[in-house]
Amino acid sequence: MPGHMKATALGARSVFQSLFSRRSVSDQPGPTGECTPFQAAKIVRRHFVRTRFFDTADVPDEISGFEDLTFLFGTSQANYALCLLGLEEAAYLYRLVRSMASPRIAEIGRFKGGTTFLLAAAGGLVTSIDLPVSDGRDAVDTGAGSIDGERLDALLRSALQRAGLGDRVNLIQGDSRAQAPEPQSFDIVFIDGDHSYANAKADIGAWHDAVRVGGALLIHDVERADVMIKGVPELRRLLDEFLAEQQGRYEKVASAGSVAHLRRLG
């Protein structure tokens, strides 16, 4: 069994043993005080999101197709790993990038960089922007200490270098709204930053004009409610408002999972 799969299996066993050896695990337990399935799924997902990081031993020396990217993913919606996209969403992004010749891609929000890696592996030239994470209150709690943004990016860079993708990615730590991108300077802009209405609106407002005419604006977590993500209905409202305001300039052409694909018309 590959190392990442063995770690996933052992991790799942320890989390579930912990979950079901105690009673209430949140402020809203089940009617008899037990952990509900909804709460269990959220806790398991949180565990894997916080404990799976890039390990160059899992990264292929060469990426020839989508099938070589399985190490990025977990085994279920509760068990996300390095890439926080569903398989349907990831496959759609991969196919879209592959349909273009070395497209220029702006990624807003990267966390551990699983989607960054996928976009580069598909052939994109990726500029990825995320807020710096300090080794303190905002650092990722792994259960055995914290890991900050510099370390996350160092692990991502090592993985990219191993796969021969290091020169395809520019990692930026900073506020995406303060970058002032040139108009029509990207073929694809992928918005997956803060999921609050106000901050998501600010990201879309700052970056939608950076998409070239005919290019793609992709927005994650707007197309359907997901019990794992809070605030999705607000993001759906934001999408509807944006399309109404940009009528004649943007149109929705497709969706995959929770990702909305908008095309710039003018």
Q: Is residue 15 part of a domain?
A: no
Domain that holds residue 92: 85-264
**pLDDT tens, 203-236?**
999 999 999 999 999 999 898 755 445 447 888 8
Residue 230: CATH number of its domain? 3.40.50.150
CA-to-CA separations, 131 to 31, 98, 110, 166, 234, in angstroms, rounded? 40, 28, 9, 21, 22
Residue 235 domain-assigned? yes
**Domain annotation covers residue 226:** yes
Is residue 212 a part of any domain in this protein? yes
pTM of the model: 0.76
What total number of domains does the chain contain?
Answer: 1
Q: Which alpha helices (H) appear in 99-228, and where do they start and end?
A: 114-121, 149-162, 197-207
* 254 domain-assigned: yes
Specify if 8 maps to a domain.
no
Question: Does 123 map to a domain?
Answer: yes
Predicted confidence (pLDDT) per residue in 80-95, tens digit: 568 888 889 999 999 9
Q: Is residue 183 part of a domain?
A: yes
